[in-house]
Amino acid sequence: MSFHSLFAAASEAGLDAAAKAVPAPMFVTACNPLTGAPIGPSHRVDEGACGFAWVKIKGNTPFGRFAKKMGYARPAYGGGLTFDAFCPTGAVYRLGAVTGAAFTILEG
């Protein structure tokens, strides 16, 4: 399998996992910072908590060099390379599903 095909398969698996993921909704309420008492109505956020997710890979491998050359990956804090989740969302549950599925493809 070529590196282009491998990256495409990881992207596809990630997007499929995101579509199947069902985040738990959360409720957000404004509170008094001193007492913690609610001071306004609650709002439902169907996509759940927001966050970030990425896949970290070794940069000194043929695939790492390919990913960097193609602009898929960038230098990661602490070494190696990283690329963000393939899903345009901030829902941390979906992002976790995306990166987990992508990692499974890339690892295999």
Using an 8 Å Cβ cutoff, are 72 and 59 in contact?
A: no
Record the pTM. 0.76
Q: What is the pLDDT of residue 16?
A: 93
pLDDT in tens, 57-107: 999 999 999 999 999 899 999 999 998 877 777 888 888 898 899 889 888
Give the amino acid at 8: A
**Segments in 21-91 forming alpha helices (H):** 62-69
pLDDT in tens, 49-60: 988 888 899 999
CA 75, CA 54: separation in Å to the nearest integer? 12
Using an 8 Å Cβ cutoff, are 104 and 13 in contact?
A: yes
For 57-81, b/e burial (b = at least 16 CB within 10 A) is bebeeebbebbbeeebbeebeeeeb
